[in-house]
Structure 1
Amino acid sequence: MENRLISDIVSENTNMRSGPSNLKITDIRVANIDGAPKHCPLIKVYTNQGLIGYGEVRDASSDTYALMLKSRLVGENPCNVDKLFNRIRQFGGHSRQGGGVSGIEIALWDLVGKAYGVPMYQLLGGKYRDKVRVYCDTDVDGKHTGTDMGRALKKRMEAGFTFLKMDLGIEMLLEEKGCLNAPMGFLDDIKKYSAKAVMHQSGSIDYELMRGENYRVFTIPHYATGIQITENGLDYMENYVREVREVIGYEIPLAIDHLGHIAWQDCIKVARRLEKYNIAWLEDVAPWQNTQHYVNISRATTIPIATGEDIYLHENFEPLMEAGGVSLVHPDVLTIGGAMETKKLGDMCNKYGVAMAIHMAESPIGCMAAVHCAAAVRNVMAVEFHSIDIPWWNDLAKGIANPLFQNGFIDVPDKPGLGIDELNEELIAEHLHKKYAGQWESTAQWDHEWANDREWS
């Protein structure tokens, strides 16, 4: 495949009925699915020539972030991606707030690829690799040991995955005596929230009933919670990781996420305990905005430090890289602003000698967007995957490889755009989110939304 000329690919895939210069956006609609692995708002951008571009709002977000952009895009040529992105970029923000702009940007590139008959990676400058490594995030439900986690990770290895990640959060210390100290009653709030979160995932409780604990617990930044890990807690966490390594060995990379809302000083204590276990990286150890906290942690440990899934726009990564706060950036294509922002971040990584891994916890639309970006960026280590245990996930999109994963890699498709022929509408109907109405229903209520968008006088 790698020896084929791009002219051959274009000739095979060009839609001869398409006139790219006359292509116009006519409508934008959404369908909200649940459990893939989270709430995923899917996007369709319709055109006057019958081409449909697929996009997706970031996981656990709102379709409003995309639909509010509709009146600013209908009637425009989707092939003018840079022009349209610069029109709507002001309406994006960090974390899930970047999902509307990012998802629309991906749908625009999908349309451009379909109109011209080329894969999305080619529109980003071509590919560095023909297949993309996937690292498999792994969870174990309920109270468990490091040995239990190690066995779960071992199954990923047996399935062919060559890179692993797990959580190592302070939540595991909540029921262990003498492992945490905190302001009186605060740990009880965390326990309540955690219990309701489990019930929410099972569908037995509404998010509204979690909201009180959520605001009390997780709107406080890490450095202001007052939570500290005791020596007993550090012993427990180190022993957990030691047990994991005893099962999976030391030949495979193991990254760690979700330490919890603890101050940077405690992150250093944890990191120093874990250095001997060859950790690939520690992720999101502080709010990403706290550059100096990342610098403090990075200087105090030999474990690579990573963050970035909640950062919108590539330039907002630069303070962390310039200061030496991270060894690896971890953007989500559906937060950063889409494919071109991911490409620009890759170029910036080259400037500072920083590696990249791509966060991805979405449907096959978000997954294929990440794959094309990973193919087009030189220094990508791997793309994350959260849905290996969801049997219907791969079937949501028609035309992609099924199974998508081969020995821990995804082959980069040469089909136009994202490489998705169409979505599995029957399967989407089975998994519609119960809180949202319908499947690709009219969004006419957004047709005339208007404001004076200019950012200067």
Structure 2
Amino acid sequence: MHTPSQKFLSKLGLREPAADHNTPNNVNDRRSFLKKTALGGLTLGGFMFTPLGDTLAHATSKVNRHSAPSDLKITDMRYAVVMNSTGRCPVIRIDTNQGIYGLGEVRDGASWRYAMFLKSRILNMNPCNVEMIFKRIKQFGFHGRQGGGVSGVEMALWDLAGKAYGVPVYQLLGGKYRDRVRLYADTPEVEDAGQFTAKLKDRLENKGYTFLKMDFGIELLKNTPGALVNNNFWDVGRQWTNEPMTYGATEHLFTQVQITPKGLDILAERIARVREAVGYEIPLASDHYGHFDHNNAIRLGKAVEPYRLAWLEDLIPWKFTEQWKQITSAIDTPTLTGEDIYLKEEFIKLIDAHAVDLVHPDLATAGGILETKRIGDYAEEKGVAMAMHFAGLPISFMANVHCAAATQNFVALEHHSLDVPYWNNLVKTDQPLIEKGFAIVPDKPGLGIELNEEEMKRHLAPESKDWFAPTPEWDQDRSWDRLWS
């Protein structure tokens, strides 16, 4: 049986391409088709003498008939855990009744359970109603990695909505300000200053980055006599532990570790060597100083002022707003925090108090794509810039890219996996993810990526080798979650 469109085309001696409307090959088929119609005299005049039904059928031939957004329903959510330089990164996939799916990523180092806990609360909902679903589930997130579940689901919903409507995610956010997103290259601490400097230069000269970040924490001073006070009690080399009553698990202000003048001179000398190697044209940010109070943060900030760092990051925990304001008022180097903050409200407190010079959300903690854009938009209104923290896989990376493209006061996005050889190959794209220190903003629907299953399966977490296995144990909601009576 012939459709009206097919009858119309047969009159012209043409046939409609049969390719999947969602595939790149179909784009070429359509272009070829349009050329043929032009050669065949299919003009506005021709339309005037054809039946209305045939004309409409042809005029709407580019509509994606594989998706009816108003009828979309969430039918399933599954996960796979992939290893990265920063540890385990759970990837989630939200499936629908129409065969299209959305990809999201729980924050690096977080549990996939933060996302799967939400499955029963979103089943059978329309994924295009992103804000409605977000408001339904946001009560189940919190600061740090606990925000990763809500944020990962939100990413996947935007990916689905973009695919359903056939547009990139940034278009759903109001359009883009930029076609390329500037990245800053994170460079983890290396004890040997020469090796560290060489690593930074490689990022500039070989990889083409135009913005760098370095670590210069007091871990470097742990074996230097006379550089620190109170390190006879605390093991300052254990910053990344979380065991109760250890140095790593004690908030900065409560360690009473102090940096001596000798220690400050050593740290300043390290920065001086880096500045000499990379020059002053390159923005150079800094991070991971160790755990000490706001008075020592001010002393450190003043000691490094001659080297014009782009910012001093997370000197103390983000929640101590008044101490942050004291630090920011006392030093000339810009201050920045926010990678562990969930939702916009705590950012608003910091911004309104003029406590920091830049905000630094991690989209995979902050609440996802739209919430991070709202943080940036609020900061912009108050004259504050936004950099973005990121340390995950390409799925979350592309969510950040779409958000950064759509946010005016954006400065730079972190890239933490430059030294991971397989990182770029974890997904498939029509164009490179990164070129010379800039992320390329895609024009494909949704996030603009597909998983490279073969590569991802090579890097599954050792204790979790399942690849998007069924998760019926998370289907049932047996809890009354309303926060009011």
Q: Same fold (TM over 0.5)?
A: yes
Q: Tell me the CA shift for residue 219 of structure 1.
A: 2.1
| Aligned position for 1:150 | 197
Q: Tell me the CA shift for residue 406 of structure 1.
A: 1.3
| Aligned position for 1:231 | 261
Question: Cα distance 1:432–1:297, how it changes in 2: closer, same or farther (>3 A)?
Answer: same
Q: Tell me the CA shift for residue 211 of structure 1.
A: 5.8
Q: Does 1:163 align with 2:211?
A: yes
Instruction: Give the secondary-structure state (helix, strand or coil) at the position aligned to 1:433.
Output: coil
| Aligned position for 1:416 | 445
In the TM superposition, 1:268-417 aligns within 5 A as 268-402=298-432, 404-417=433-446
Q: Does 1:128 align with 2:158?
A: no
Kept after mapping to 2: 8 A contact 1:140/1:148: no
**Hey, what's the Cα distance between the residues in 2 that align with 1:15 and 1:55?**
23
Counterpart among 226, 246, 252 of residue 178 in structure 1: 226
Kept after mapping to 2: 8 A contact 1:57/1:66: yes
Q: Tell me the CA shift for residue 294 of structure 1.
A: 0.6
What does the per-residue CA deviation read over 1:240-268, in whole Å, with 9 as the maximum and x for residues that have no partner?
00111111111110000111111010011
The amino acid across from 1:103 in the alignment is: G
| Aligned position for 1:206 | none
| Aligned position for 2:78 | 29
**Hey, what's the Cα distance between the residues in 2 that align with 1:424 and 1:38?**
19
Q: Tell me the CA shift for residue 450 of structure 1.
A: 2.4
Q: Tell me the CA shift for residue 36 of structure 1.
A: 4.6
Counterpart among 72, 76, 84 of residue 125 in structure 2: 76
What does the per-residue CA deviation read over 1:376-396, in whole Å, with 9 as the maximum and x for residues that have no partner?
000000110011111111111
Runs (4 or more) in structure 1 with deviation over 4 Å come to 11-14
Question: Cα distance 1:13–1:452, how it changes in 2: closer, same or farther (>3 A)?
Answer: farther
**Hey, what's the Cα distance between the residues in 1 that align with 2:210 and 2:231?**
41
Kept after mapping to 1: 8 A contact 2:80/2:460: yes
What does the per-residue CA deviation read over 1:214-246, in whole Å, with 9 as the maximum and x for residues that have no partner?
651222111001111111100100000011111
* C-alpha RMSD of the superposition: 1.7
What does the per-residue CA deviation read over 1:161-188, in whole Å, with 9 as the maximum and x for residues that have no partner?
000001111111101111111164312x
**Hey, what's the Cα distance between the residues in 1 that align with 2:158 and 2:391?**
20
Q: Tell me the CA shift for residue 154 of structure 1.
A: 1.1
**Hey, what's the Cα distance between the residues in 2 that align with 1:231 and 1:274?**
13
Q: Tell me the CA shift for residue 346 of structure 1.
A: 1.4
TM-score, normalised on structure 2? Answer: 0.85
**Hey, what's the Cα distance between the residues in 2 that align with 1:400 and 1:236?**
47
| Aligned position for 1:110 | 159
Q: Tell me the CA shift for residue 35 of structure 1.
A: 2.1
**Hey, what's the Cα distance between the residues in 2 that align with 1:12 and 1:426?**
35
The amino acid across from 1:177 in the alignment is: P
Unaligned runs of 5+ in 1: 1-7, 198-209
**Hey, what's the Cα distance between the residues in 2 that align with 1:282 and 1:385?**
17
The amino acid across from 2:285 in the alignment is: A
| Aligned position for 1:207 | none
Kept after mapping to 2: 8 A contact 1:37/1:390: no
What does the per-residue CA deviation read over 1:119-161, in whole Å, with 9 as the maximum and x for residues that have no partner?
00011111011110011001254x212x432221111111210
Q: Does 1:18 align with 2:48?
A: no
Q: Tell me the CA shift for residue 13 of structure 1.
A: 8.3
The amino acid across from 1:35 in the alignment is: N
Instruction: Give the secondary-structure state (helix, strand or coil) at the position aligned to 2:84.
Output: coil
| Aligned position for 2:48 | none
**Hey, what's the Cα distance between the residues in 1 that align with 2:398 and 2:453?**
18
The amino acid across from 2:393 in the alignment is: S
What does the per-residue CA deviation read over 1:346-372, in whole Å, with 9 as the maximum and x for residues that have no partner?
111122110011111010001000000
Instruction: Give the secondary-structure state (helix, strand or coil) at the position aligned to 1:39.
Output: strand
**Hey, what's the Cα distance between the residues in 1 that align with 2:175 and 2:232?**
56
| Aligned position for 2:482 | 454
Kept after mapping to 1: 8 A contact 2:73/2:124: yes
Instruction: Give the secondary-structure state (helix, strand or coil) at the position aligned to 2:208.
Output: coil
Q: Percent identity?
A: 50
**Hey, what's the Cα distance between the residues in 1 that align with 2:391 and 2:363?**
10
| Mean Cα deviation higher: 229-238 or 27-36 | 27-36
TM-score, normalised on structure 1? Answer: 0.90
Q: Tell me the CA shift for residue 14 of structure 1.
A: 5.6
| Aligned position for 1:5 | none
Kept after mapping to 1: 8 A contact 2:229/2:260: yes
Question: Cα distance 1:301–1:348, how it changes in 2: closer, same or farther (>3 A)?
Answer: same
| Aligned position for 1:220 | 250
Kept after mapping to 2: 8 A contact 1:26/1:47: yes
**Hey, what's the Cα distance between the residues in 2 that align with 1:126 and 1:375?**
8
Kept after mapping to 1: 8 A contact 2:71/2:126: yes
Kept after mapping to 2: 8 A contact 1:14/1:115: no
**Hey, what's the Cα distance between the residues in 2 that align with 1:319 and 1:176?**
39
Q: Tell me the CA shift for residue 12 of structure 1.
A: 10
What does the per-residue CA deviation read over 1:1-60, in whole Å, with 9 as the maximum and x for residues that have no partner?
xxxxxxx9xx99863211111111011001001125421000100111110100000011
Structure with bigger RCO (C-alpha 8 Å, 6+ apart): 1
**Hey, what's the Cα distance between the residues in 2 that align with 1:35 and 1:98?**
19
| Aligned position for 1:39 | 88
In our comparison, the structure showing a higher alpha carbon Rg is: 2
What does the per-residue CA deviation read over 1:380-423, in whole Å, with 9 as the maximum and x for residues that have no partner?
00110011111111111112533x22121112111000001x21
The amino acid across from 2:442 in the alignment is: P
Counterpart among 461, 475, 478 of residue 433 in structure 1: 461
**Hey, what's the Cα distance between the residues in 1 that align with 2:61 and 2:321?**
48
Instruction: Give the secondary-structure state (helix, strand or coil) at the position aligned to 1:102.
Output: helix
**Hey, what's the Cα distance between the residues in 2 that align with 1:63 and 1:292?**
35
The amino acid across from 1:306 in the alignment is: L
The amino acid across from 1:165 in the alignment is: K
The amino acid across from 1:20 in the alignment is: P
Question: Cα distance 1:134–1:341, how it changes in 2: closer, same or farther (>3 A)?
Answer: same
